[in-house]
Structure 1
Amino acid sequence: MAQAQEPAVEKKVFELARFVTQGGRRLRNVRVGWESYGRLDADKSNAVLICHYFSGTSHAAGRYAPGDAEPGYWDAIIGPGKAIDTDRYFVLSCDTLVNLNTGDPNTVTTGPASIDPETGRPYGLRFPVVTIRDFVEVQKALVESLGIERLALVAGPSMGSLQTFEWAASHPEMVARAMPVIGAAEQDAMLIAWLDAWAAPILIDPNWNGGDYYGKAAPLAGLGKALTLVTLQANQAGWANATFGRRPAEAGVDPAGALDARFQIQSMLDKAGLERAQRADANHFLYLVKANQLFTTGGSSLADGMARIRAPMLYITQPQDLVFPPHMVARTLKAARDAGRDITHFTIEGARGHLDGVMSMQQAEGAIRAFLAK
């Protein structure tokens, strides 16, 4: 029997006439895209919020059209009868402020590439620094606009896990359960430095021009290489060796023959980075880097942030993660346990490292079901 086709996902837009950042800057006409799956109960008690990763969008599950090549990134665990069952839950997700994917017609965000209503020109670097807490506050406004007072679950991978921790610490009365995936409750010095390395190719691209490139040649070379670095760190050696090995970029062209003779992994990563750069914005990338560097759960100290959390947590990690490696996971677990938090730790395996928290989440299906049934 043919499986019933799920209805197409509808992209909606949420607007805030006024928003004040954590730094005290006022923004007008803030817009973010959002989508949902399932139905909200009459008492509005079945809402689940999914927070997306650094280079992601609100497209967490389903398809916009039947012909779409791929569904949303967590489609393996969100949908009818799945771990986060949309026959039971109303699942929503929204694009963050300064979302990277400004060239994607299904992404709506406010950031440096947006028109400043005061000047009629793109903000550029006049846009204020924003934080993970600012992302959460925009999401909170969206949630409240739907009449939802309490979320049955907040969850997300990578940067989405930072938002999950922040939700649980900043609005404990609104979060019944939290599921941070492939992340940590505070950025450490090494990751702050790695994020700086991600940003570096943009800053040395002459087309970046101090952030003033709108209406001119965009810094696509720098942004492409930045995205190459993100992809490389988000993966692992098992994936790289199995996919590329030591094969040359061009058959019969020995990489030892000249400086510009390359290996396949070099050329393929750079090609993918440049393709993604066509749909992204370099300044938005830099603002995302800053927001991630600044992150500590609750905005003060790790211990204080963890002390404010009340929700039980299912913490899902990957032991070979190069972005949030084992020492960061261990520090998060210790802080949670020292604060007396209810935290269950589950690990997933795979050759992708960090990206297994997006691509291999079906491994956690049993753990998620058990957590939601508690």
Structure 2
Amino acid sequence: MVTELVEKRIFEVDGAYRTLGGAVIAEVRVGYETVGRLSPAGDNAILIPHYNTGNSHFAGRYRADDPLPGYWDAITGPGCPLDSDRYFLVGVDCLSNVNAKDPFTVTTGPASIDPATGKPYGMRFPTVQIADFVNIQKALIDHLGITRLRAVMGASMGSMQTFQWAAAFPAVVERIIPVIPSAFLDDYTALKLRAMRQAIMLDPDWRGGDYYGGPEPQAGLALALSMMTIASLGHDWSQKYFNRRWADPLKDPAADMSHGFAAADWIDEQVKARLHLMDANNFLYLQRANELFTLGGKASLEEGLRLIQAKVLLLPSASDHILPVSHTQRTRDILIAQGNQVDYMELAGPFGHLNGVATIAQAGELIRQFLEK
């Protein structure tokens, strides 16, 4: 665990940024935070891109009274697998981060002010892709004086960025640790993301994305976030913690449609706790970035993986309902067949996709050994 307070910093891209699609964003700012110290040679850094609804906060606390630390605090700190006495650890906010209203998230996206108009971009913001996130991160590590990355380690959407790093900058990346990973996104998973986007776009308050200054599409965003949270968990989680328990022991769901189940109430509470931090348009753009992901911009998974030279540690969740373990097994087999050094472990636990966050400590020793190879 990280005991020192973590400071959120801001990185501003020098000049305008041209996206993968050729559009220009005049001003780009993203947040980042670091733990540990960079070596004089600039070669001990580990980059940690975040998952879909996360941000750069992978470990530690911003304030002493923060209720929870960053999401991988269990494996981060002095003497931990992500050893802050040995490595310089860097987390970065992505473009169009969903948490646009969070004071500890810094991002550029549809909710940002367009300097040309003085108003939020809305749906006039250019489409951004996973490769754009990585390109911004590359500019950041250059700014920080990082010459080589000991590893890139990211969960879920962070794993897409991890794979993209290895494909786009093979001379910089020594190792990658994709957690609950996806080296490609199939149509079935993309359809789930599309349904989440539709939940927002069907909300009357969305108004084509021009809702700033008025009522926001909170109902649609809440439904989209609920869908994502449910998909991220699974059957084992629901049986272990709820097992069809009523929300109120005195209110039988069979007696009245307004009576519900404890699992549904829990999901609603999680959504309510985070909804006020999020922007609906940013959510739309981020899901589209996931839908558009192709490794290295190649037409096939095999072609994309062929670009990777780094050592690889794959950590899928055995009970993942979003990015199934079979997809990671296919990626593993292709990498091994082409000669990459690959280590592999399936994460156990009741949390489905979220085992990659909630139960990551079970892979701690393997992560430590992999980083020391």
Scaled by the length of structure 2, what TM-score is found? 0.97
Deviates more, 1:85-94 or 1:263-272: 263-272
Are residues 1:344 and 2:356 paired? no
Match of 1:11 in 2: 8
CA separation in 1, counterparts of 2:254 and 2:171?
Answer: 61
CA separation in 1, counterparts of 2:220 and 2:241?
Answer: 25
CA separation in 2, counterparts of 1:245 and 1:162?
Answer: 34
Match of 2:264 in 1: 266
2:64 to 59, 63, 66: 66
Question: What is the 5 A alignment of 1:63-142?
Answer: 63-142=61-140
How far is the alpha carbon of 1:260 from its aligned partner? 2.4
Aligned partner of residue 276 in structure 1, secondary structure: helix
Q: Contact between 2:314 and 2:328, CA under 8 Å: does it hold in 1?
A: no
Are residues 1:20 and 2:34 paired? no
How far is the alpha carbon of 1:100 from its aligned partner? 0.7
Q: Contact between 1:225 and 1:274, CA under 8 Å: does it hold in 2?
A: no
**Alignment RMSD (CA, Å):** 1.3
How far is the alpha carbon of 1:198 from its aligned partner? 2.2
1:277 aligned partner, one-letter code: L
Q: % of aligned pairs identical?
A: 46
Q: Contact between 2:313 and 2:344, CA under 8 Å: does it hold in 1?
A: yes
Q: Which runs of 5+ in 1 are unaligned?
A: none
Match of 2:49 in 1: 51
CA separation in 1, counterparts of 2:270 and 2:347?
Answer: 26
How far is the alpha carbon of 1:331 from its aligned partner? 2.2
- Per-residue CA distance 1:317-359 (angstroms, 9 max, x = gap): 1111001112212221233223322211111100101101011
Q: Contact between 2:41 and 2:147, CA under 8 Å: does it hold in 1?
A: no
How far is the alpha carbon of 1:262 from its aligned partner? 1.5
1:369 aligned partner, one-letter code: R
CA separation in 1, counterparts of 2:340 and 2:110?
Answer: 38
Match of 2:205 in 1: 207
1:143 aligned partner, one-letter code: I
How far is the alpha carbon of 1:197 from its aligned partner? 2.0
Aligned partner of residue 17 in structure 2, secondary structure: strand
CA separation in 2, counterparts of 1:32 and 1:95?
Answer: 6
Are residues 1:313 and 2:312 paired? yes
Deviates more, 1:318-327 or 1:267-276: 267-276
CA separation in 2, counterparts of 1:339 and 1:112?
Answer: 40
CA separation in 2, counterparts of 1:304 and 1:254?
Answer: 55
2:27 aligned partner, one-letter code: N
Match of 1:166 in 2: 164
How far is the alpha carbon of 1:259 from its aligned partner? 2.2
How far is the alpha carbon of 1:278 from its aligned partner? 1.0
- Per-residue CA distance 1:197-234 (angstroms, 9 max, x = gap): 22221121111111111111111111111111111111
Match of 2:321 in 1: 322
Deviates more, 1:65-74 or 1:194-203: 194-203
Q: Contact between 2:113 and 2:121, CA under 8 Å: does it hold in 1?
A: yes
1:206 aligned partner, one-letter code: P
How far is the alpha carbon of 1:250 from its aligned partner? 2.5
CA separation in 1, counterparts of 2:284 and 2:258?
Answer: 29
Aligned partner of residue 172 in structure 1, secondary structure: coil
1:244 to 239, 242, 245: 242
**Size of the alignment, in residue pairs?**
371
Runs of 4 or more, structure 1, over 3 Å off, are none
How far is the alpha carbon of 1:296 from its aligned partner? 1.5
Aligned partner of residue 305 in structure 2, secondary structure: helix
CA separation in 1, counterparts of 2:246 and 2:318?
Answer: 30
Question: What is the 5 A alignment of 1:141-290?
Answer: 141-290=139-288
Match of 2:301 in 1: 302
Q: Which runs of 5+ in 2 are unaligned?
A: none
Aligned partner of residue 302 in structure 2, secondary structure: helix
CA separation in 2, counterparts of 1:243 and 1:285?
Answer: 29
Are residues 1:353 and 2:342 paired? no
How far is the alpha carbon of 1:297 from its aligned partner? 1.1
Scaled by the length of structure 1, what TM-score is found? 0.97
